[in-house]
Amino acid sequence: MLSSLIFIPLLGSLAILLVPREQDRTVKWVGTIFGLIPLLIVAYLWGQYSYSAQGMQFVEHYDWIPSLGISYYLGTDGLSFPMVILTALISFLAILASWNIKNRVKDYFFLMLLLETGMMGVFVALDYVLFYVFWELVLVPMYFLIGIWGGPRREYAAIKFFLYTLIGSVIMLVGILALYFNAGLNTFDMLALAKHKFAPAFQFWVFLALFFGFAVKVPVFPFHTWLPDAHVEAPTAVSAILAGVLLKMGTYGFLRVSHPTLPEAAKALAVPIAILGLINIIYGALAAMAQKDLKKLVAYSSISHMGFTLLGLAAMTPVAIQGAAFQMFSHGLISAMLFLLVGMIYDRAHTREIAKLGGLFNTIPTIAVILAFASFASLGLPGLSGFVAEFLVFLGSFGAYRTFVIIATSGVVFTAGYYLWMIQRVLMGEAKKEYLGLPDITARELGTVVPLMIFTTLLGLFPSLLMDIMNPAILGLVAKVGGM
Amino acid sequence: MIEQAWIIAIIPIVAWLIIFLFAKALKEKVAYVGILAMGISLLLSVLTFSEALGGTVEKSFPWAVVGDIKIPVGFQVDPLTAVMLLVITIVSLMVQIYSVGYMHGDVRYAKYYAIVSLFSAAMLGLVLANNFFWLVLSWEIMGLSSYLLISHWYEKPEAAAAGMKAFITTRIGDIGLLLGTIMLFVYTHSFEFNVIAEKIHAGEINQGIVTVAALLVFAGGVGKSAQFPLHVWLPDAMAGPTPGSALIHAATMVAAGVYLVARAYGIFVATPYALFWVALIGGFTALFAATIATVMTDIKKVLAYSTVSQLGYMMLGLGAGSYTAGIFHLMTHAFFKSLLFLGSGSVIHAVHSQEMHEMGGLRKKLPITYWTFLIGTAALAGIPPFSGFWSKDEILLAAYRSPYPVLFWMGVATAGLTAYYMTRAVILTFFGQPRDHHKYEHAHESPPVMTVPLVILATLAAVSGLPGSPFLHNAFGEFVKFGHGHEAEPSSFVMIIAISAALLGVLAGVAIYGYKVISREKAIRSWRPLYLVLKNKYYVDEFYMAIFVRGTVLLAEIVGFFDRYIIDGLVNLVGWLGMQLSFLSGLFDKYVIDGMVNGVAAITMALGNSARRLQTGFVQSYAITLFAGVVIGLILIQLIGG
């Protein structure tokens, strides 16, 4: 079943290649249908998912290049299954949000589906070679999506994104190869290598290599500057995927690869990671406050929010990791929602400059109200998913990093500060005459954000929907690395 | 009913949803949805109250489980909750009925009713919650509701700013509450008030920890109940609709902070140091805000500072060791302060101004408003036998019996000032000659939908103190008490001082504003520096603006600059160097790794003309980096693994 999640989008992208270039509508329909099928499959898998089982589920394991120990090995557990759900959901909504693309529609939808294949692959691969192939596969469509359909500085942003993540992934590849050769098991099996005990000094260096690769994706300060540029230039739907799913590949890398495989190093480097997380939280929030472009503000808020994941990861208690993983999912929903809304505003007002916007509550009320909702979700309003994540991270990290948690909570105030200030400047105030008569949200646009709103609220009120999936895997991980 | 008391909080949530979803269809009929829901909640609260006289109920269910940690969802109904349920539902119902008249024709009528329902639901949820987690949740929903209500007329810049100020200022306190909650959980492994209190009572937790946790929790109360130094949001919050102010500043929101201290009293009593701080902050805030109220000329601002002051009074009572007195004053205050706010709303409705200097002589034009406002004033000023007298007396008694006599005198001074500024407000509004004839001529009494709630609340403001008086054998104290409770020995000295202070205040007010025995202008001139300090609210807002607000914005600007020019500058520099290098490697790659290039080029072909507009040669760089990476990797492996 997991293979179908990878190959149906791929099939879709091939199908799109067969559609004649001028038939935009057909392309869009094919793209949407092939985006919907994985979502339905994921829904089915969710029904089949065993909440109590330890280890991998829906496993597929075939030899690929036996002489080198490379296999086609897929499976999912509590760490990856939420990410699979997120990928299917965000990808579908992003495709739906892309219906207003006018330029080179065929190429665009081809790349979108290819991107989904890559992301799905990363989250279900259990063989390092496979993992790396998908990891790199994500890079290519993303590069073109930003570089061709982006804003005025798209080429700069695309190249920056590409170089940054490329260097990151090459160093990550070094780490992976080091694991392979050092273990001497002649296998790229991620789980088998995670069971192998590596020497502490070796662990330290390889951890650093892997960390760099993942850190660029998260992104961790000071490797984050590709993100605001990429976001600002990327088309709306691509931004939603970038923030909603792509960044999580980095933190997923920690959870799946570096922490379980190199637990000694993870423990030794926990404090620096916590400090980096803290910097992300505070620095990202302050930088967000300074932004004059609405989309950049949301981009920096992503940096800030991913810091919570790092902090939780560093604390290595079940509650903190639960919070970190919950934040990955929750931030995926909320940031995608924010980017979609910013895109809707840009499509109408043709500007993202905060100073030029204003009074949107009275001109495009539905969009404005949903943006306010998403902002409150992002600033951690209880009853919505973001609060659960932050609360769990604080609760789980307090024992190990009391001071850090106390400092991190100030980030919560800054976050409230920049969002409310944004709401005051962008949404409140008298309606501006240049924006009078703008059309409010369309049914299709509503369709892209309402599912995210529902999920955000559901998980805020019933977090166990997700926590029960994650629990067994997280307890397993903590048993290996934890005990801080 | 008591077994299903949680329904009381659910009903207004349902109302909120209905209003939210059907706002367009229902138009101004949404009011009936809100009123009906609150009416049912009130009825159920009465039933619950009567059952709570027989005993308390507490229920808990698991909500979320992480490892061996369980976050529960649960509620309790004890005397404190039972009283709060009644107070909240009564005030909310009155406010909603009154709003039918006051908000008639408002641009966002439905939104207003939706928020009021949500607000009430959050406050009801707050007093029902039996654990910190759900308390925090309701607490923040209330923060959201107040934000929305205060910035209801967001077209006005000051309303938009006031909403933000309220949310952020209270959030600073909320962080304390959040950290306190987490800290208590780390040490007691529970969120439930009773479990935590039991563990602390049993001496399982280090005293220092308890003190820190209690002070952190108190910080939350300081923010929500607008205590110094986080009081600044409350006066600005007057930018919201007046009935909303009545709700925020009487029965919900600000009461939550006091309620929190009462609910967590089991923690506070274990640490005299924290309790002392509660009393000190409370006493100081009471006096501090009362002095400001004496010079405000905006009728709502007078009431706003009065609210800050009275909340300080409640904190003083709790901190001085009298649980009962704090709650008792919370209850009587909820009635008379919501009455005064709604009364001021009725005045504002009539003259379309909040400036008392533009009023005067209105008692003939607005007889019902006048009489009810007068009763509210008497209650607030502590004139026997009105409700505020009895509750204030208990607080003063507690302060008097506490080890710190200064608290008592703070309370007495506040009582005197309170009587003074309320007398002043009544005279300026209702007595003397009309100062603005145009406004006076057009003034008319509010419709019954507004005056009937005033009359009901006036009745409560008059008599709700009696259950705490000797006439009814102090029934309130018998019901709402902490542990076995201990009656402070009554003192006729305290009672005489309290009455004297109140009368003195009234006399001073009448002397200056009624008979003009002392000239107001002359007094201001001779006390000009003091007058200016008070008029500018001790310059606290200016100080915060200069230090915290500008400081944060400046810090943000610095970070933004650093990020853009330093960090990203370095990145671009590295990128530029890389481009210079890649020129050299271009020669290399042409001959050495042709094969790899072809492989990657295949993908480019598949993409067709997608790559057309992008720099060619980029794909080669990809390949060469990959290649270089692998080489470095193999060397590294040799170094480390060997």
Q: State whether A182 and B183 contact (CB < 8 Å).
A: no
Task: For residue B630, give Cα distances in angstroms to A10, A178, A412.
Answer: 28, 10, 42
Q: Are A320 and A252 contacting, i.e. CB atoms less than 8 angstroms apart?
A: no
Residue A31, pLDDT above cutoff 70: yes
Query: What's the whole-number average pLDDT of chain B?
Result: 86
Strand A57-65 to A70-76 pairing: antiparallel
Computed from CA positions of residues B194, B195, B199, B205, in that sequence, does the dihedral angle turn out positive or negative?
negative
| Residue B70 β-bridge partners | B65
Residue A12, pLDDT above cutoff 60: yes
Q: Are A159 and A108 contacting, i.e. CB atoms less than 8 angstroms apart?
A: no
CA A374 to chain centre: 16
CA gap B39, B24 in Å, rounded: 23
For residues B455-460, give the mean pLDDT: 93
User: Which chain A residues touch B630 with a CB distance below 8 Å?
Assistant: 170, 173-174, 177
Q: Which helix (H) or strand (E) element contains residue A62?
A: strand A57-65
User: Which chain A residues touch B216 with a CB distance below 8 Å?
Assistant: none
Which amino acid, B595? G
Q: How confident is the model at residue A170 (pLDDT cuts 50, 70, 90)?
A: confident
CA A196 to chain centre: 29
Task: Indicate the length of chain B as a whole number.
Answer: 642
User: Which chain B residues touch A409 with a CB distance below 8 Å?
Assistant: 175, 178-179
Q: For residue B550, with 0-12 CB atoms within 10 Å meaning exposed, 13-18 middle and 19 or more buried, which class applies?
A: exposed
CA gap B634, B642 in Å, rounded: 11
Peptide bond into B229 cis (omega under 30): yes
Task: For residue A285, give Cα distances in angstroms to A290, A291, A403, A411, B400.
Answer: 9, 10, 19, 7, 48
Only one residue has tokens 């501006």, namely A432
Q: How confident is the model at residue B604 (pLDDT cuts 50, 70, 90)?
A: very low
Residues 6+ apart with CB under 8 A from B513: B423, B424, B427, B428, B431, B432, B520
The pLDDT of residue B592 is 46
Task: Indicate the length of chain A as a whole number.
Answer: 484
| Residue A127 β-bridge partners | A189
Residue B597, pLDDT above cutoff 90: no
Which amino acid, B445? E
Q: Are A39 and A72 contacting, i.e. CB atoms less than 8 angstroms apart?
A: no
Q: State whether A463 and B178 contact (CB < 8 Å).
A: no
CA gap A415, A409 in Å, rounded: 10
Query: What's the whole-number average pLDDT of chain A?
Result: 91
The pLDDT of residue B12 is 94
Q: State whether B140 and A286 contact (CB < 8 Å).
A: no
Residue A126, pLDDT above cutoff 50: yes
| DSSP code at position B76 | E
Residue of B71, B563, B612 to mutate when probing chain A, most A C-beta within 10 A: B563
pLDDT more than 70, % of chain A: 99
CA gap B104, B85 in Å, rounded: 28
A157 to chain B, minimum CA–CA distance in Å? 11
| Residue B59 β-bridge partners | B75
* Alpha-carbon radius of gyration of chain A: 21
* Alpha-carbon radius of gyration of chain B: 31
Q: What is the pLDDT of residues A130-156, one digit of tens each?
A: 999 999 889 888 988 988 888 888 888
- The token duo for B29 is 């009929």
Q: Are A477 and A79 contacting, i.e. CB atoms less than 8 angstroms apart?
A: yes
Q: φ and ψ at B371, to 5 degrees?
A: -65, -40
Task: For residue B334, give Cα distances in angstroms to B64, B330, B423, B431.
Answer: 35, 6, 20, 26
CA gap B245, B237 in Å, rounded: 8
CA gap B228, B235 in Å, rounded: 13
Q: State whether B561 and A376 contact (CB < 8 Å).
A: no
Which amino acid, A473? A
Task: For residue B218, give Cα distances in angstroms to A418, B264, B282.
Answer: 26, 9, 11
C-alpha closest to that of A364 among A455, A258, A436, A308? A436
Which amino acid, A250? G
Half-sphere exposure of B76 (CA within 13 A, CB side): 18
The pLDDT of residue A262 is 92
Q: How confident is the model at residue A275 (pLDDT cuts 50, 70, 90)?
A: very high
The pLDDT of residue B137 is 92
Q: State whether B171 and A413 contact (CB < 8 Å).
A: yes
The pLDDT of residue B627 is 63
Residue B425, pLDDT above cutoff 80: yes
Q: Are A219 and A284 contacting, i.e. CB atoms less than 8 angstroms apart?
A: no
CA gap B100, B32 in Å, rounded: 9
User: Which chain B residues touch A161 with a CB distance below 8 Å?
Assistant: none
For residues A458-465, give the mean pLDDT: 92
User: Which chain A residues touch B567 with a CB distance below 8 Å?
Assistant: 222, 224-225
Q: How confident is the model at residue B584 (pLDDT cuts 50, 70, 90)?
A: low
For residues B334-344, give the mean pLDDT: 93
Task: For residue B255, give Cα distances in angstroms to A55, A263, A461, B24, B250.
Answer: 50, 49, 25, 33, 7
Number of separate helices (H) and strands (E) present in chain A: 22, 2
- Candidates A171, A225, A463; nearest CB to B571: A225
| DSSP code at position B517 | S
Work out the number of other CB atoms within 10 angstroms of the CB of residue B108.
17
Q: For residue B237, with 0-12 CB atoms within 10 Å meaning exposed, 13-18 middle and 19 or more buried, which class applies?
A: buried
Residues 6+ apart with CB under 8 A from B376: B336, B337, B339, B340, B343, B457, B458, B461
- Candidates B66, B182, B552; nearest CB to A318: B66
Burial string for B429-455 (b: 16+ CB within 10 Å, else e) reads bbbbebebeebbeebebbeeebbbbbe
CA gap A254, A279 in Å, rounded: 18
User: Which chain A residues touch B545 with a CB distance below 8 Å?
Assistant: none
Q: How confident is the model at residue A448 (pLDDT cuts 50, 70, 90)?
A: very high
Treating both helix axes as pointing N-terminal to C-terminal, what angle do B387-401 and B492-509 enclose, rounded to 10 degrees? Answer: 130
Q: State whether A463 and B64 contact (CB < 8 Å).
A: yes
CA gap B239, B149 in Å, rounded: 9
Half-sphere exposure of A279 (CA within 13 A, CB side): 14
| DSSP code at position A353 | B
Q: Are A92 and A42 contacting, i.e. CB atoms less than 8 angstroms apart?
A: no
A191 to chain B, minimum CA–CA distance in Å? 20
Closest CA in chain A for residue B64: A464
Q: How confident is the model at residue A165 (pLDDT cuts 50, 70, 90)?
A: confident
Residue B142, pLDDT above cutoff 60: yes
C-alpha closest to that of B480 among B336, B334, B325? B325
Q: Are B235 and B305 contacting, i.e. CB atoms less than 8 angstroms apart?
A: yes
Q: Are A376 and A333 contacting, i.e. CB atoms less than 8 angstroms apart?
A: no
C-alpha closest to that of B277 among B261, B295, B293? B261
Peptide bond into A263 cis (omega under 30): no
Q: What is the pLDDT of residues B258-300, one digit of tens each?
A: 999 999 998 999 899 999 999 999 999 999 999 999 988 899 9
Residue B634, pLDDT above cutoff 70: no
Q: What is the pLDDT of residues B529-560, one digit of tens each?
A: 888 888 888 888 888 888 888 888 888 888 88
Tell me the pTM: 0.91
Q: φ and ψ at A401, to 5 degrees?
A: -130, 65
C-alpha closest to that of B309 among B224, B225, B397? B225
Strand B69-77 to B57-66 pairing: antiparallel
B235 to chain A, minimum CA–CA distance in Å? 19
Q: Is B131 helix (H, G, I), strand (E, B) or coil?
A: strand
C-alpha closest to that of A156 among A166, A145, A168, A146? A146
Q: φ and ψ at A375, to 5 degrees?
A: -65, -45
Strand B69-77 to A57-65 pairing: unpaired
Residue B642, pLDDT above cutoff 70: no
The pLDDT of residue B227 is 93
CA gap B125, B128 in Å, rounded: 5
